Structure 1
Amino acid sequence: MLIIHATQRDKIGKSASRLLRTKNKFPAIVYGKKKPTLHIQIDNKIIINSTFFKKNIRLIICNEKYIVSIKEIHYHAFKPKIIHIDFIYIDEIK
């Protein structure tokens, strides 16, 4: 299982997301299962390959662990960069 460390975002919106991308990070969101929506930021250095989409991912946010899967990934139009990822809850680990 892939483990990704993320931090929660305080500011959301277009200008905050653009600022994140200049710092070599990208915004993401975690939602579903009648749980609160989490706005997070992830370092752009994570390795993306074909198995990344098929596996469940352990997402660690502020010392809380969640099992998520990828709902959607938005890529830059002509650069090999991720713009945004939508994760969906599968389970929570205590």
Structure 2
Amino acid sequence: MLTIHAKIKTKNGTKESRKLRIKNNIPAIIYGKNNIQISIILNYNDVTNMQSKNEYSEKPLKILIGKNEILVKIQKVQHHPFQKKLIHIDFIRI
């Protein structure tokens, strides 16, 4: 099972997301049934390195936020319209 390290995203909005992308990070969100949504920040290089592995989109992933582990699957990935760059990922809890 692949593991992704993440941080909690405290500020929301387009302006803050752009600042994150400039710093080589990706904004993401975790959601699911009967649970609150968690906005997170992922390292761009870590995510792009995982994309080359088959497990990335097919099997569950483990997201570590501090000492908390959350099992998720990728729900939706948004790419830049002209570049192949990732701009946002939606995860759903398992």
Structure 1 stretches of 4+ with a deviation exceeding 6 A read none
In structure 2, the residue matched to 1:68 is 72
Deviation at 1:50, TM superposition (A): 5.8
Aligned length: 90
TM value normalised by structure 1: 0.90
Deviations 1:64-84 (A, max 9, x none): 001000000001122221100
Structure with greater proportional strand content: 1
What is the TM-score when the length of structure 2 is the normalising length? Answer: 0.90
- AA at the equivalent of 1:49: S
Contact 1:8–1:62 (CA<8 Å) still a contact in 2?
no
| Aligned-pair Cα RMSD in Å | 1.0
Q: Which runs of 5+ in 2 are unaligned?
A: none
- Decide which of 76, 87, 92 is 2:91's aligned counterpart: 87
Q: For structure 1, which runs of at least 5 residues remain unmatched after alignment?
A: none
SS, match of residue 45 in structure 1: helix
Determine the C-alpha separation between the residues in 1 that align with 2:74 and 2:39: 15
Q: Is the 8 A contact 1:27 1:40 kept in 2?
A: yes
Question: 1:7 aligns to what?
Answer: 7
Which amino acid in structure 1 is aligned with residue 37 of structure 2? Answer: T
1:56 equivalenced with 2:60 (yes/no): yes
